Amino acid sequence: MTKRFKKSELKRYEQMLLKEREKILKELQYEGNQITQTQQDASGDLSAYSNHMADMGSETERREITSQILSTRRDMLLQIEYALKKINTGNYGICERCGKPIAKRRLKFMPQARLCIKCSKVLGR
């Protein structure tokens, strides 16, 4: 296997991934705190029940959306961790489907990319 990246390039991608990981971890902590708030805390009511059914529905919807955001962030965190492992093992920047190099331009905007553009389009990712 030929050397694809200079050490400085790998370090730059690693720093991008670490920065994004830190951002996501902060978001997960914040959103996790938001979703674990009790209904009473969120509404400010002394009772555990809202006075209006619409308020309860809005709160339920907010919690569902927050839960979906958390799930998406966790998936992204796993992708970042996987990319960091690939940097350490020397497999970073290689398409997992066709085995060809992933364009540096793609990695610049999506450093956790596992597929080249062509394979990504074929698989609809």
Name the residue among 40, 33, 85, 82 with its Cα closest to residue 59: 40
- Mean pLDDT calculated for residue range 28-41: 71
Give the integer Cα–Cα distance in Å for 107 and 79.
13
CB neighbours of residue 86 within 10 Å:
18
The larger pLDDT score, comparing residue 58 to residue 72, is at: 72
Domain spans of the chain, in order of start: 1-91, 93-125
Looking at residue 1, its pLDDT comes to 42
Least confidently predicted of 24-33, 58-67, 76-85: 58-67
Inter-residue contact 24 to 76 (CB < 8 Å): yes
pTM of the model: 0.76
Which structure tokens are listed for 44?
A: 């400010």
Q: pLDDT at residue 38 above 90?
A: no
- Mean pLDDT calculated for residue range 76-88: 97
Give CA 6 to chain center in angstroms.
Answer: 26
